[in-house]
Amino acid sequence: MKLYCGRDFSADDMAAVTHLITQNPTANCAHLSRQVCVMFHWLKLDGGLKDMTARVAMLRMQKDGLITLPASQRRPSRRPEFLATAATDAQPLLSRPVHELAPLSLRPVAGKTSSRLWNEYMARYHYLGYTPLAVNNARFLILPWIQSQGLASKILPLAARQLPNDWQSRYGYRPVLLETFVESERHRGTCYKAANWIPVGKTAGRGKKCPTHKPIIPIKDIWLYPLRRDFVRVLCR
C-alpha cells in the first residue's frame, strides 16, 4: 500500500494506473489525471474532480519508479510583462496609525482589469515581483507610501476571518489552516506574531524540486494560523 496525496494506493490500484497509461499512449498528463479521478471516484467536496491532486500523485509515483508518464507536450509559456503605468504610480504619503483610518474592508480580485492591476502592483513594488500564484499567502504587500502603524497586523485577522467564507462560496468547502513563509534575512514576521500566527520552524532553502541537498534559495520562517481547533484531525482524516 502506497500513500499519495492523502490516498492509499494498493498494488491493484497501481496496476490499474499502469494499464490506463498503457492503453492511452497519446494522452497527456491532464487527461490521464482526470481518468484516474473517475476510476477511483476521487472527488472534491463540491463534486468536481481532484485532477490537480491526481496529477501531483502521479508525478510522485513516477519519481518512485512505479509508473512512466508521457513526456510533456506543453511548450514553456512566456510570463506576461507588467510594465509600470500611471495606475500604480506612487500616491501621497499616508502615515496615520491604523486606529485613525476608516474601517478596513477586503475584496477578492475578480475580473481581468482588477487582476492586471494587482499583478502590476506586485511586479512594481514587491521584492519577489510578479509570478502566477497558487492558493497561499505568497504575496503580502503594503505599498511603500502607506506607513500606517499597526496596519499589517490588522489586515491579517481580517483576511483570516473573510477567507473561509469566500472560499466556501466559490469552491464549496472551507479551509482549516493558513500557512505563509517569511524570508528570515529580510523580515522578522512581527506582524504575523502580533496577529497570533504560530512560528513552527524554517525551510531548508532547497525549494520543491531542488536536485541537491544544499540550500540554493533563501531560508524562510514557516508560520501557521489555524482556522479551527481540530484542524489536525480534519487534515489527517
d(CA 98, CA 156): 13
pTM given for the model: 0.64
Q: How far apart are CA 206 and CA 215, in angstroms?
A: 5
Question: What are the phi and psi torsion angles at 195 (to 5°)?
Answer: -95, 10
d(CA 49, CA 45): 9
Angle, CA 135 vertex, CA 130 and CA 138 arms, to 5°: 45
Do 30 and 55 meet the contact criterion of CB atoms below 8 Å apart? yes
The domain spans of the chain are 2-63, 86-235
pLDDT in 10s for each residue of the chain, 237 residues: 888 888 899 999 999 999 999 999 888 888 999 999 999 999 887 788 888 889 889 999 998 999 999 887 666 556 667 788 999 999 999 999 999 999 999 988 888 999 999 999 999 999 888 887 776 678 899 999 999 999 999 999 999 999 999 988 877 888 999 999 998 888 889 999 999 999 999 988 876 655 666 777 888 999 999 999 999 998 887
223 CB neighbour count, 10 Å cutoff: 21
